[in-house]
Amino acid sequence: MITEIVREDPSVVRLRMSERLWAIFERHRLSFGDRKRENLPLIDFYKSARIEQYADYTNGTALCTIGAFSYQMAGGLTVNMGRYCSVADHTSIMGERHPVEHVTTSTFPYRAPRPSFRWAREDLLGGSGQMITPRILTAAVPVLQHDVWTGNHALLQRGIILHTGCVVGAGSVVTKDVPPYAIVGGNPARVIRMRFPDAMIERLLASRWWECHPSVVFACDITDPGRFLDQLAAQRDSFAPFAPTILTWDRVRAELESG
């Protein structure tokens, strides 16, 4: 029996923090900002999450997929992100989709987890009202590729992709995919400018520099993209890709059961 489990659903496990769970996270080099174990009583661990070493949930309590050297400061935010991402405080995602093509946008006809809705089905429909599934379902959580930065109070539509190198301005409402290395802002968010010329963006994407070991990355001049790429290319045949360990719920469960 795992005493840390408070509740387990098909997609997520709510866990009570303990010394042995905290020790698992520390061994994996997963941090929670400056918070200590006693400041983090409960967390939600998504069963689909793949968490690389050296990631940080600064204010986060929802453990979704996150790459090495990324951090997210947005509490219960659920997004899947790659490496070197920076997610600012109060970044959030839009809620479930309502069926605007139906007679009513209410969730009562198709989703009744709320006690009042369940009682209404029992009291008024004899429990026999058929659940009507919308033709267009709520999309998955947003995907942040690599080196993505979202500013404070950014709001993200579900199902979108924030491509590698892009920047989302503070307070932006992002309803569409954001191109690689674009800086977007506004409501709805639009491209303000690109971080680099097209040729440089193509070289950066082709280099896949985020897959390199940090010792290689920081041996190059990160302040000068052109020089960085030249230096990186000169080392290409002499190093292997960075391969951090991956923490999953199955692995955490196994360690808790064995401990």
Residue type, 127: G
Q: How far is CA 218 from CA 30, 35, 103, in A?
A: 21, 28, 58
pLDDT, tens digit, 9 for 90 and up, residues 67-113:
999 999 987 788 899 999 999 999 999 988 888 999 999 988 887 77
Question: Chain-centre distance of CA 186, in angstroms?
Answer: 22
- When pLDDT is cut at 50, 70 and 90, the band that residue 125 belongs to is confident
What is the percent of the chain where pLDDT is above 90? Answer: 74
Per-residue pLDDT band at 129 (split at 50, 70, 90): low
Q: What is the mean pLDDT of residues 201-205?
A: 98
Q: What is residue 173's predicted lDDT score, i.e. its pLDDT?
A: 98
> Rounded to an integer, what distance in angstroms lies between the CA atom of residue 178 and that of residue 33?
28
Q: Is the pLDDT of residue 122 over 90?
A: no
User: To 5 degrees, how large is the angle CA 20–CA 61–CA 79?
Assistant: 125
SS3 33: coil
Structural domains of the chain in order of their starting residue, each with its CATH number: 5-95+138-236+245-258 (2.160.10.10), 97-136 (no CATH)
Strand order in the sheet with 155-156: 92-93, 155-156, 173-174
> What is the distance, to the nearest Å, from the Cα of residue 238 to the centroid of all Cα atoms in its chain?
32
In angstroms, the CA 80 to CA 140 distance is 10
| Contact yes or no for 51/246 (Cβ under 8 A) | yes
CB-based burial, 84-96: b 16+ in 10 Å, e otherwise: bbbbbebbbbbee
pTM confidence score: 0.89
- Given a cut of 70, whether residue 128 has pLDDT beyond it is no
Quickly count: other Cβ atoms within 10 Å of residue 72's Cβ.
27
| Distance separating the N- and C-terminal Cα atoms of the chain | 11
CB 146 within 8 A of CB 84: yes
Tell me, letter by letter, the H, E, C secondary structure of 92-131.
Answer: EECCCCCCCCCCCCCCCCCCCCCHHHHHHHHHHCCCCCCC
Instruction: Count the Cβ atoms, other than its own, within 10 Å of residue 21.
Output: 22
Residue 202 sits at φ, ψ, to 5 deg, of -60, -40
User: Averaged over 112-133, what is the pLDDT?
Assistant: 81
